[in-house]
Amino acid sequence: MTKTISRRDFLKLGSAAGITLAVGQMLSPKVAQAARDAGHLNAAGDGTIPSLCEMCVWRCGLLAKVQKGVVVKLDGNPDNPHSRGNLCPRGQSGLMNTYDPDRVLTPLIRVGQRGEGLFRKASWEEALDRVANGMLDIKQKYGPEAIVFSATHNLSQPLFENLLYGFGSPNYGTQRSLCFNAMIVANLMTYGTEEPARNYSKVKYIILTGRNLMEAISTSETHDLSQVIDEGVKVVYLDPRYTKTASKASEWLPIKPGTDMAFHLALLNIIIGEGLYDKSFVERYTVGFDILAQEVKKYSPDWAAQITGISIETITRIAHEFAAAGKYTLAHNGWRTSNFVNSFGTQRAITALNTIMGNWGTTLFPGSGEGAGLGAPLQPPYPRVSALRLDGVPWKYPFVPLKLGIFQELREGVVNGDPYQAHGWFISRQNPVMSIPDRGRTLQAFRKMDLITTIDIIPNDTAWFSDVVLPEASYLERFDPLNVVGDKAWLRQPVIEPQGEAKSALWIYKQLGERLGLGEYFQYTDEEDYLRQQLAPIGVSLDEVKKTGYAQLPVEPPNIYNWNTTTGKIELFSETLSKAGFEGVVKWEEPPVPAEGQFYLLTGKMAQNTQFGTQNNQLLHKYSDEPRLWMNAAVAAERGLKEGDWVEATSDVGRIHVMLHPTEAIRPDCVYMTPGYGHLSKALTTAYGIGACDSVLHKTFTDPISGSQALSQTFVMVQKA
Ligand code: SF4
């Protein structure tokens, strides 16, 4: 008999194991025994268990502190290079994610209308059969390409990709085009590597473009930056907003949005024009310098001052200071950079500035390889896929790597049914309803779907609109494939038994794969067997790794002066780009500007939350202020607006109501809001009803080279509500 459940019942399902904010429960006999076997716990049940954080994708090493058999705290693992003994606020609150009273702890099948939040409990057997049969039905009617697969970067991604590519769909949505496509593609076109490693130990001068590292925390890099600031290294920080990073920097430049490229072009103009660059490095290791030098003659400090709002004197002084630091400089690539369609050009200008200073091998190095030396279960080759990708990669966007894709264009392909109509969406650990710009349009895409499946630990907004929700074990409850950092492979292992019926992604993908006829892509008996197969080539036992938390890898030192580009050198001019009809050398691209009465809409990070996934964490919630719309204090006063007033912000695609925060800490032409709020899922009892959603306002703009979404190119009107 089908029993429908209300929102209240849905919430009760989340607490099926009777958990009520029960941080600190006894270890289950199985986990306690494993911890004793590995030597982590003494006879009294005290000790620490090493594992990895997953409150963001940085994967710091953690030590779960156990007292009398109860996990009481998470600390940073001093041996792990990403944590170095520290966890950020999100990492510290990880137990509360696992013990979230809203956790989904049993498979759920929708019984009401999409978005009503009416589900019934189902067994794993029934839920997996339902998903597999639904996917096979769509495949038979419309072809495998009619299912879209999307997931956020995580350690079990290779198995997710086995499902996707084994099934035969080309449609792969990741979060990367909403984040760092411009940086990655610019690095690939210049250095032939996705992201060079930064070394702060010798740095003397940093230009940081929009990377708010004190709030967008990656523990080790945030620590590196703090340390060099303490040591007196000069940090020039460009951001239209006075963030916590601005407060720590030596100099804050409130640059006009979208003009960071002009600032860097002017630095290139001065440093090259006055011959202050590293001539022997440029001659030996680069191609295209003469073309770059000719191009940047146009970009005088006078020209850049008018565009950026930064004075000629400041630009000139910074160029001279930067040049004086020689190869001990770092023009930081940032992450999303300026969030305009010219961000790819901005990134190319930053890479050019680094290159002419000859800092490669001093502050920048080749990125480390992933997974070298580890094994994997055998599997057959993937079937040939002839269908075009819905996101236009590579047939419209030849330079976007397939594994990055363009998520916002994928959504557009679904809405427009172009070049064909998709009918199913399989989503793992991702929240496209919140993350893709223009939420209304994402919900429109959902309405085209016959089957939406979501794997997650909480009933997020995407789960709320799904047909089947599969409960994943949290990162503290499961094993994952090994995480390679430098010369070590780090282990995520359970410190708590999975609650309810939650299962690891490795288990879920295998079960589903077998039902889809793809069992050959999942040749492991369980999670530990998968890990043993990974460790086999290096001759290390899983028991040893459980004890230490990592396996040592044989790593050959890279040849740092060997670039994986067409010419084998750093490409200041790219013939590949030029032949494809794009600019081979960085050239100024004028960004759009708001009309009279409009503001640039800025978004950014806060230290307490990770994108859209942690706002329901009760500990983080407790230490977060109600999110408000920042507006320059003078501008607010002119409009008769004051702290706490409700305002309406309107863009071309949406409207929100939000509380106002007038502040001196933002340019007069900008407003700012923190993403990750304004949830639609009423099952998120902590986060629901808090703040407003930036994706409602964001318009879709895609950079034609890198596929990056230009988030700051949305302009809004603001008035009293
Ligand atoms: S940066 Fe913070 S949230 Fe991310 S892995 Fe490290 S401790 Fe966890």
- Tell me the per-residue pLDDT of 109-121, one tens digit each, with 9 for 90 and over: 999 999 999 999 9
pLDDT of residue 1 exceeding 90, the answer is no
551 in contact with ligand 1, CB cutoff 6 A: no
Domain boundaries, the chain: 197-365+560-579, 599-720
pTM: 0.93
CA angle 71, 77, 80 (to 5 degrees): 145
pLDDT at 19 over 80: no
User: Is the CB of 220 within 6 Å of ligand 1?
Assistant: no
Those residues whose C-beta lies under 8 Å from the C-beta of residue 103, and which sit 6 or more positions away, are 14, 15, 19, 457, 458, 471, 474, 499, 500, 502
Tokens encoding 51: 């594992």
User: DSSP 3-state helix, strand, coil percentages of the chain (rounded to 5)?
Assistant: 35, 15, 50
Q: What is the pLDDT of residue 396?
A: 97
Expressed in angstroms and rounded, the spacing between residue 676 Cα and the centre of ligand 1 is 17
pLDDT bin (cut points 50, 70, 90) of residue 369 is low
Question: Is the pLDDT reported for residue 16 higher than 90?
Answer: no
Contact 185, 344 (CB under 8 A): yes
The single-letter code of the amino acid at 703 is D
pLDDT above 60 for 588: yes
Whose Cα sits closest to atom 4 in ligand 1? 56
Confidence of residue 7 (pLDDT cuts 50, 70, 90): very low
**Whole-angstrom Cα distance, residue 175 to residue 152?**
6
**Rounded mean pLDDT of 145-161?**
95
**120 Cβ neighbours under 8 A, 6+ residues apart:** 2, 3, 4, 5, 108, 109, 111
Find the 702 Cα to ligand 1 centroid distance in Å. 29
Q: Band of the pLDDT at 5, cuts 50, 70, 90?
A: very low
Q: What is the mean pLDDT of residues 428-437?
A: 96
Rounded to the nearest whole angstrom, what is the distance from the C-alpha of residue 369 to the centroid of ligand 1? Answer: 21
Percent of the chain with pLDDT over 90: 85
* pLDDT number for residue 17: 32
Distance 265 CA to ligand 1 centre (A): 34
The confidence band for 8, taking pLDDT boundaries of 50, 70 and 90, is very low
Regarding the domain delimited by 197-365+560-579, which CATH topology (the fold level of the hierarchy) does it fall under? Answer: Dimethylsulfoxide Reductase; domain 2 (3.40.228)
Tens digits of per-residue pLDDT, 271-328?
999 999 999 999 999 999 999 999 999 999 999 999 999 999 999 999 999 999 999 9
Ligand 1 centroid distance, CA of 89 (Å): 8
Mind listing the pLDDT tens digit for each residue in 183-215? 999 999 999 999 999 999 999 999 999 889 999
- Report whether residue 605 contacts ligand 1, using a CB cutoff of 6 Å: no
Q: Specify the pLDDT at position 18.
A: 32
Question: Crossing angle, helix 407-416 and helix 439-447, to 10 degrees?
Answer: 50
Determine the atom of ligand 1 nearest the C-alpha atom of 222: 1
Q: What pLDDT was estimated at residue 486?
A: 86
| Pick from 335, 332, 330: nearest CA to 57 | 335
Output the pLDDT for position 374: 93
Could you tell me the distance, in angstroms and rounded to a whole number, from the CA of residue 57 to the centre of ligand 1?
A: 7
Q: Give the pLDDT of residue 611.
A: 83
Please report which helix (H) or strand (E) contains residue 238, including its range.
strand 234-238
Check pocket membership of 217 for ligand 1, CB cut-off 6 A: yes
Q: Identify the weakest region by mean pLDDT among 438-442, 557-561, 650-654.
A: 557-561
Residue 14: predicted pLDDT: 32
Q: What pLDDT does residue 9 have?
A: 41
pLDDT of residue 625: 84
Which CB contacts under 8 angstroms, 24+ apart, belong to 220-227?
Answer: 220/58, 220/60, 220/81, 220/82, 220/83, 220/84, 222/88, 223/84, 223/86, 224/198, 224/200, 225/200, 227/200
**Do the Cβ atoms of 228 and 250 come closer than 8 Å?**
no
Task: For residue 378, give both structure tokens.
Answer: 């055998």
| pLDDT: which is higher, 559 or 375 | 375
| pLDDT confidence of residue 44 | 85
Question: Which residues on adjacent β-strands are paired with residue 436?
Answer: none
β-bridge pairing 488-490 and 550-552: antiparallel
Pocket-testing residue among 52, 54, 55, 59, ligand 1, by greatest number of atoms within 8 A of Cβ: 55
Domain covering 599-720, topology: Barwin-like endoglucanases (2.40.40)
Which atom of ligand 1 is nearest to 76's Cα? 7
Residue 160 makes CB contacts below 8 A (sequence gap 6+) with 149, 151, 154, 428, 505, 509
Determine the residue of 51, 52, 54, 56 to mutate for testing ligand 1's pocket, defined as the one with the most ligand atoms within 8 A of the Cβ atom: 56
> What pLDDT, on the 0 to 100 scale, is given for residue 3?
36
Q: Nearest residue CA, atom 8 of ligand 1?
A: 91
Residue with CA at minimum distance from ligand 1 atom 6:
60
183 lines ligand 1 (CB under 6 A): no
Residue 22 has a pLDDT of 43
53 lines ligand 1 (CB under 6 A): yes
CA 661 – ligand 1 centroid, Å = 28
535-569 pLDDT, tens digit per residue, is: 999 999 999 999 999 999 987 777 899 899 999 99
Ordered strands of the 483-485 beta sheet: 483-485, 488-490, 550-552
Which pLDDT score is estimated for 370? Answer: 63
Mean pLDDT of 346-365: 97
Three-class secondary structure of residue 329 per DSSP: strand
pLDDT digits (tens, 9 = 90+) for 460-494: 999 999 999 999 999 999 999 999 998 899 999 99
Ligand 1 atom with the shortest distance to the CA of 219: 1
Question: Phi and psi at residue 150, in whole multiples of 5°?
Answer: -145, 145
User: If you take atom 1 of ligand 1, which residue's CA is the nearest one?
Assistant: 218
Q: Is 52 in the pocket of ligand 1 (CB under 6 A)?
A: no
685 in contact with ligand 1, CB cutoff 6 A: no
Q: What is the pLDDT of residues 391-419, one digit of tens each?
A: 999 999 999 999 999 999 999 999 999 99
